[in-house]
Amino acid sequence: MQFGLLEMWQSMSAVAKIVSILLIFLSIISIYFFIERNLFFRKARSKSREVAPKLADMLKSGQIKEALALATKKENEASHLARVTAAGITEFLSGKESGLGFEQQIETASRGCDRAASIYNQELKRGLPLLATIATSAPFIGLFGTITGIINAFRGMALTGSGGIGAVASGIAEALVTTAFGILVAVIALWCYNALNTKTEIYDAEMSNTASQVIDFFVRKQAK
């Protein structure tokens, strides 16, 4: 009896086939989110590298409204640093127009930066909860296929009245394949999750640093 992939697939039960198809689907979702998120991160990094130096120069020279206009341009909305800068400037100017004291203006601007960073953080983490769910659930989905494979192995023994390898080979192979497949999908999802989560933390740190720099610009401007 040959036992290639095709023969294995044909000998698998309907439940094991459904488990395998589900695991394939989950692995595709994991890879899709990994690629899509990396493209999102790359665009944010590219736009930020382009616009951040210009914003810094404008703030240093006291061109606050010009910096706000640049940061809020549609073409720069993908930049995480531009969003934080725009939020800080907007709240600072709004507080100034409302007649707040300087310290209150600074606090308002700081909260604006924090809100913008928090909102963008949610965009960065899109898909990560799903990857975490896949990483934790895939082994159990594979285990379900393992159980059905073992059941089929015992069924083969019962039908043939023999415990020979021929009677149980199909069921055991089915059990091992679904187990291995479930672990593989979990590993892929976990690697994708960890890689994307690490990048998210880096971007969070960059937004935090930008918020501090924006506030420092306002403080230094007031001190002059």
Token couple for 202 = 């880096």
Backbone angles phi, psi at 12, to 5 degrees: -75, 150
The structure tokens 């940061």 sit at: 71
Whether pLDDT at 5 is above 80: no
Q: Looking at 57-143, which runs of residues are DSSP E strands? A: none
Token couple for 12 = 């698998």
pLDDT tens digits along 141-151? 888 887 877 77
pLDDT tens digits along 156-197? 666 665 555 555 566 677 777 888 889 999 999 999 999 999
pTM (two decimals): 0.82
Higher pLDDT, 1 or 127: 127
pLDDT tens digits along 88-104? 999 999 988 888 888 89
